[in-house]
Amino acid sequence: MQQPSFHALLYGGDYNPDQWTEDVWLADMRLMKLAHVTMVSINIFSWALLEPQPGIYHFAQLDRIMNMLAQHDIAADLATATASPPTWMSRLYPTMLPVTRDGTRMTHGSRQHYCPNGRDYRRKATALVQRLAQRYAGHPALSMWHINNEYGCHVSQCYCDTCAVAFRVWLQQRYQTLDTLNYAWWTNFWSQRYYDWQDILPPRLSPAQNNPGQVLDYWRFMSDSLLACYRLEADILRSVTPHVPLTTNLMVAFKPVDGFSWASHMDIISFDMYPANTTPAWETALSHDLMRSLKGGRPHLVMEQSPSQVNWMAQNPQKRPGHMRLQSMQALAHGADGVMFFQWRQSKAGAEMFHSAVVAHDSSEHGRIFRQVAQLGGELHHLSPHILGSRINAQAAILMDWHNWWAVEYLPGPSDRLRYWEQIKAHYHALHSLQVAVDIIQPASDLSQYRLIIAPLLYMLRPQVANNLQHFVAQGGTLLVTFFSGIVDQNNHVVLGGYPAELRTLLGIHVEEFDPFTPEMSNELAIQEEPLQGTYPCTLWGELIHLEGAQALGVFTSDYYANQPALTMHSFGQGRAYYLATQPSDELLVRLARLLCQQANVAPVLQSPEGVEVTKRVRADGRAVYFLLNHTEQAQQVTLPMGCFTSLLDEKRVEGSVEIAAVGVIVLLSETAEGGFEQYL
Ligand code: GLA
Ligand code: ZN
């Protein structure tokens, strides 16, 4: 595994010179220098040009591009070009094309038209990667490998016959025997028992709901299949260029790709960030916090963001002035060590011709978008030595598990309204509004650095999770678990004996019934004592709960479980375990988050006015860098902690308080060390 060490924050974007004549390349080099570009991603969709006929490779143009970048001291994030196979491949290897759940085979003509288990696809992809690796191994421009592109973006699941065979192999490795598989999938139900491995199929279109165990395993298998494609390429690249870091651009909380299982195979986590103009700032913050957390807090990279408008929404408004800069600074504020764009030069034609780019159709360096990109490039260049490699230290974490996501959103009842990521978002939003730093981590991971853990909708408890949470609370941690948690094991089997099964002792409750609401239903949660005193509307879900050691902090006000617990607290060991049995208003979520932070001794980074986000990165020398991000359209005043700071963007010395312009950013370096940070690797 290569620990990436870059000398500067990464800045640049997807660069497709092979769509342009070489006089345009020279213009690009000049403009890149103006914009302080340090790295570009090249070759992402170039397979058809590199291999115009089977086994005939043309690298001359890519050689010239790589040489040009080296001459201009611009690093190449060299893509392996395997995301879009040449058209002749689908003629020669038609079974390589993916098949939908209803049996339709797709065709070429856009991109990503391959089945991840396709033997010919894998063979041809690895042959290409082998040649690329050998050819550019010692090239001075080669700085990072960009494997494929957005795995699973368009084809996240394939249901073809090749996948059926590969699925059986995957299942044999997982279960060894048909008996074990039959047990895991509970196939005595509806006469589904398998007597021959060959009878097992992908969960294709069938008359009624497919077997939930089979569907869950198919999500697992497909994430693994895409990962296997990544790993095939990664293995080649590691053996030929062991010193060059590897990445692929993830798609944030993308359900088909289990980010945690992928992260250990990546040297740097990169992802594509496309907030709409209406996406709230806290949601983008969450994307960064998840991406940063995938690799234990190591700096991540925004591989793509749009300089202004995109082209794939129904209507694509421009980003308003200042917002791209603010979003870029927010990325750094949450631990990123680079922000890149899709794309450098706007396409003249094709499916993305109206997607914005750094260099627009007028090719001018005087337009709004180019000037903003160039200005930001200058700022990043200036910030680079001060923040590169610094880390966020979070004491609060939210648990997230892709397997739970797959299972809880393919339920045979009780509700089709449960959305796992929405539940994570709701609790993140509350913590973010308090300016608390948050990591997003796996339930079985080491919790010892945290004081507060929130586990929303943890329907599936995989092995070790219950023990892990129990140990965390016993040692003094504060835990909040929310409704419909602790229901099934990793096979999606209900753990019998009363919900929430393995969490029952820890939470000190017994959930006798859960009661999903229709959109028309609601209830209220009443709390008599301060600090949460009040009555709050609640939606989505109710439960009938009995106390088994916990105390009720709040109760439902109506229906057949009126006056029964809705919010409980159980003292366990040296800590406290809370349980929330419904989805209350945001107001209660924020008040509850504040209470939990107080009890867990989790402090906000700073107090700030509404709409001003504050984060802190800590450097290896112990000095803190504060980012103050004004997401409002008015200037805002922020009171600073004790001490003197250098305002890095304007080199002023400040103390006491600062004013941040509308949509503005201030980055402050503390003059004294606040203590090093333990997780620095
Ligand atoms: C994705 C892809 C890019 C491009 C952009 C457009 O992120 O990786 O190739 O299509 O979307 O927004
Ligand atoms: Zn397939």
DSSP for 471-495 reads HHHHTT-EEEEESS-S-B-TTS-B-
Question: Looking at residue 673, what is its pLDDT?
Answer: 86
Residue of 82, 250, 342, 355 to mutate, ligand 1, most atoms within 8 A of C-beta? 342
| 563's tokens | 């006056």
d(CA 431, CA 436): 6
Asked if residues 3 and 267 have their Cβ atoms less than 8 Å apart, the reply is yes
pLDDT, tens only, 520-558: 999 999 999 999 999 999 999 999 999 999 999 999 999
d(CA 513, CA 467): 24
Residue of 149, 252, 271, 272 to mutate, ligand 1, most atoms within 8 A of C-beta? 272
152 Cβ below 6 A of ligand 1 = no
Catalytic, 529? Answer no
d(CA 112, CA 107): 10
Please name which of 174, 52, 160 lies closest in space to residue 116, comparing C-alpha atoms: 160
310 Cβ below 6 A of ligand 1 = yes
Question: In 192-255, which residue ranges form alpha helices assigned H by DSSP?
Answer: 212-240
Mean pLDDT within 323-340: 98
Question: Looking at residue 413, what is its pLDDT?
Answer: 87
Please identify which of the residues 22, 233, 283, 304 carries the catalytic annotation. Answer: 304
Distances (CA, A) of 143 to 31, 75, 342, 412: 21, 6, 19, 48
Q: Which secondary structure element, helix H or strand E, spans residue 132, and what is its range? A: helix 119-136
Question: Looking at residue 678, what is its pLDDT?
Answer: 39
Q: How far is the CA of 43 from the centre of ligand 1 (A)?
A: 14
| Nearest ligand atom owner, CA of 95 | 2
Catalytic, 150? Answer yes
Distances (CA, A) of 667 to 109, 178, 604, 605, 613: 46, 59, 17, 14, 12
150 Cβ below 6 A of ligand 1 = yes
| 187's tokens | 């196939």
pLDDT, tens only, 99-153: 999 999 999 999 999 999 999 999 999 999 999 999 999 999 999 999 999 999 9
State the Cα angle at 443 between 442 and 445, rounded to 5°: 65
**Does residue 677 register a pLDDT over 60?**
no
Atom 10 of ligand 1, residue of closest alpha carbon:
352
Question: Looking at residue 674, what is its pLDDT?
Answer: 74
| Nearest ligand atom owner, CA of 41 | 1
d(CA 550, CA 381): 54
Q: How far is the CA of 183 from the centre of ligand 2 (A)?
A: 26
> What is the overall mean pLDDT for the chain?
97
| 3-state SS class at 153 | coil
Mean pLDDT within 393-408: 98
| 544's tokens | 């009938």
Question: In 515-650, which residue ranges form alpha helices assigned H by DSSP?
Answer: 586-600
Q: From the alpha carbon of 272, which atom of ligand 1 is closest?
A: 7
| 166's tokens | 């590969």
**Does residue 676 register a pLDDT over 50?**
no
**Does residue 675 register a pLDDT over 80?**
no
pLDDT, tens only, 622-642: 999 999 999 999 999 999 999
d(CA 527, CA 540): 19
* Neighbour tally for 322: CB within 10 Å: 16
Question: Looking at residue 1, what is its pLDDT?
Answer: 64
- Domains of the chain listed by start with CATH number: 10-152+242-387 (3.20.20.80), 396-600 (3.40.50.880), 612-680 (2.60.40.1180)
| Nearest ligand atom owner, CA of 313 | 1
Question: Looking at residue 681, what is its pLDDT?
Answer: 30
* Alpha-carbon Rg for the chain in angstroms: 26
pTM: 0.97
355 Cβ below 6 A of ligand 1 = yes
